[in-house]
Amino acid sequence: MPELSGIGVGRGIAAGPVARMSPPPPAPADEASERSAAAETERVQKAVAEVAAELEARGRTAGGMARDVLEAQAMMAQDPTLHEAVATRLQAGKTGEYAVHEAFAEFRATLEELGGYLGERASDLSDVSQRVIASLRGLPAPGVPDPGHPFILVAEDLAPADTALLNLDQVQALVTIQGGPTSHTAILAREKSITAIVGVAEAASLTEGQQVIVDAGAGAVITEPTQEQLDEAQARRAAHAAQAEAPITPGALADGTAVPLLANLGSAKSTEKAVALGAEGVGLFRTEFLFLSADEAPSVEEQREAYQSVLEAFPGQKVVVRALDAGADKPLSFLNDAPEENPALGLRGLRALMANEQILRDQLTALAQAQESTEADVWVMAPMVSTVEEAEAFTALAKEHGLATAGVMVEVPSIALMADELLSRTDFASIGTNDLTQYTMAADRLLGSVASLQDPWHPAVLRLIREVGAAGIASGKPVGVCGEAAADPLLAVVLVGLGVNTLSMSPAALAEVRAELKLHTLEQARGIAAAALTAATAGQARETAQQAAQDAVQDTVQPAVPH
C-alpha cells in the first residue's frame, strides 16, 4: 500500500476514485483556418452554446452564490460585443480557437482597465474562453471536473473561487500539489470542513479513476488500499462525522484543565457560526475587512458599529480585537504607499499604525465606545510587534483610550525571545503562528515554492513558543495562540503542553480540537510537547508527537497494574 505524503488539513478521512483538475488548454497559434468562415462560425456558435448551457446547469445544481457566479459567466459567453469581435476575426480567415482566444483576451484587457467590479470579473472571462477553446478541440472543460459521481479532487492548486464553489456532495476530499498549511486552499478547506491534504508533491502521479484513501490526520494519500483499509477508512469517516455532532462542552483536557476554545473572526458575518459551534469567545477579531476595500480609513462611527455587532454576540465572554494589520499581503495605500522591496519586512502591522498614529487612535476610540454599550470582555492587541518598546507604547495608548486589557501578538522571533520582558510590560500575549513561522523560517507564507518550510511543527518554531509559554507561566499572564497551528488537533495539545492557555481558530476546527484535548491530561500534553521538542525536523516533530500521544492514550486505556 504505497503512500504519498503531504500536509493534512484537520483529521478527516475519505476514499474514492481520483478525478483530476483539467489544466487549461495551451493557447492556440495564430494560423489561417482550413475551413470556410461560415464553417468556423458554426463551430464557434455550437461550442459557445454548449459552454453556456453547461455553466447554467452547474449553477442550478450548486444553487446559492455559486449559481449567480455561474450564470454571470454563462451570460459573458454569449455577450454580443464579444461575438462581433470573434466574427471579425473569423471573416479574416482565423481559426475558431484563435478568434475566441484573441477576442476574449482583448475584452479582458478592456475590463481590467475599467477596474472595480468589472475588473474583478476579468479572470472569469479567461475561464469562459478556455472552456470554449477546450470544447472546440474536443477536450474536457478546464477546472473542477464533474464525473457524475463522488470523487477525490486532485489539482495543482485551487483558486479561492474554485474552492468556494466546490460541490461538497461530490468532492469527498481534496489533494493539491502546491500549498502549505496557511495557504488559501488550506484555510478555505478548513473553513468548509473539507478533508484535504496540501503540498503533496507526488500527487502528479495519481491517475484518473484510481482508488485512493485520503487520510488528513496522517497527511497520507494511500494509493493501493486493501479492502481492510477501505473498511477502516469508512469506519473512521463515520466516527469523524459523529465527532462533529458531539455535544458542545467548554474546551478542557482529560484531567479537567480548562483550555478555552475561541474563534478567529474575519468580519461580523461569521459570529453566528462561531457561537453555534461553541466558541467560548473570540481570540482574534481581524479588523482589516473594514479598511481593505476603502480609499481612506473608515470613520470612528462606522468602526464602532462594526465592532459593536461582534461584541454583542459574546456577552460576558472575551473578545480579543486586533488593531489594523495592514501592509505586506494586505496593502493599504492611505497607510503606506512607499514602494518596498520586501513588504513583509517593511512598514506593516503596528509599525504602520505608529507612523499614522491618528488612525490607531481612532480605532481605539471606536473600540472603547463599542465596549461601553456591550457586556463583552474586550481585549485589544497589536500585530507585528518586534520590540518591547513598541509593546509598551501600544499598551499605554490602549489604556489612555480606556481599554483595560492590552497585549500584543507574538509573530516575530525577536519578541518571542524577549517574552519575559514583554509580559512584564503588557497584559497578555497571543502567538500568531502563521507569521511566526514565516519569519522564523524566512519563508514567504504566500509563496508556493517555499510552502514546505511554512510548517509550524518545525522545532525552531516550537522552541520559540516554549519561551513564550514559559514566560506566561512564570508571570501568571495569559498566553494564547491564534494562528492556524491552533486548528491542528495534535499541535493544539503540544501548544497546551508548552504553556499556552487558550486556543483560537476557524470555528470549523473547534469540534476536532475539543475532541483531541479531551484525550490527554496536562501531564501527558507536557510529555507530548517535550517529545516533539527533541525532534530535528518538522516531520520528525509531528511523528514523535503522534507516537507519544498514542502511547499516552494506550497507557490511560490499559492500566499498568492489571486487576
Give catalytic residue positions: 184, 482
H/E element, 436: helix 433-441
Is 411 labelled a binding residue?
yes
Cβ proximity to Mg ion: between 220 and 408 the closer is 408
Site string for ligand PEP, 291-330 (x = CB under 6 A): ----------------------------------x-----
* Cβ burial, residue 179 (10 Å; 0-12/13-18/19+): buried
Size of the site for ligand PEP (CB under 6 A): 10
Shortest Å distance, C-beta 286 to Mg ion: 9
Of ligand PEP, Mg ion, none, which one does residue 469 interact with (CB within 5 to 8 Å by kind)? none
Is 434 labelled a binding residue?
yes
Cβ proximity to Mg ion: between 70 and 500 the closer is 500
Q: CA distances (Å), 255 to each of 151, 251, 412, 517, 520, in order?
A: 41, 12, 33, 10, 8
Residues in region 409-428 near ligand PEP by CB under 6 A: 411
Query: DSSP character for 202?
Result: G
Query: DSSP character for 259?
Result: -
Is 322 labelled a binding residue?
yes
Cβ proximity to ligand PEP: between 215 and 411 the closer is 411
Q: Is 145 in the site for Mg ion (CB under 5 A)?
A: no
Is 377 labelled a binding residue?
no
Q: Is 286 in the site for ligand PEP (CB under 6 A)?
A: yes
Is 356 labelled a binding residue?
no
Question: ∠ CA(458), CA(463), CA(464), 5° rounding?
Answer: 100
**Alpha-carbon Rg for the chain in angstroms:** 26
Q: What are residue 503's DSSP bridge partners?
A: 261, 481
Calculate the CA dihedral of residues 277, 279, 282, 287 and round it to 10 degrees. 0
Q: Are 499 and 468 in contact (CB under 8 A)?
A: yes
CA distance 276 to 508: 10
Of Mg ion, ligand PEP, none, which one does residue 488 interact with (CB within 5 to 8 Å by kind)? none
Q: Which of 186, 468, 482, 509 binds ligand PEP (CB under 6 A)?
A: 482
Q: Are 148 and 162 in contact (CB under 8 A)?
A: no
Residues in region 405-464 near Mg ion by CB under 5 A: 411, 432, 435
Task: Give which of 491, 548, 562 is closest to 11, Cα–Cα.
Answer: 491
CA distance 242 to 308: 35
Q: Is 435 in the site for ligand PEP (CB under 6 A)?
A: yes
Cβ proximity to ligand PEP: between 13 and 382 the closer is 382
The residue number whose beta carbon is nearest to Mg ion equals 435
Q: Is 432 in the site for ligand PEP (CB under 6 A)?
A: yes
What are the binding residues?
Answer: 286, 322, 411, 434-435, 445
Residues at the site binding ligand PEP, with contacts judged by CB under 6 A: 284, 286, 325, 411, 432-435, 482-483
Residues at the site binding Mg ion, with contacts judged by CB under 5 A: 411, 432, 435
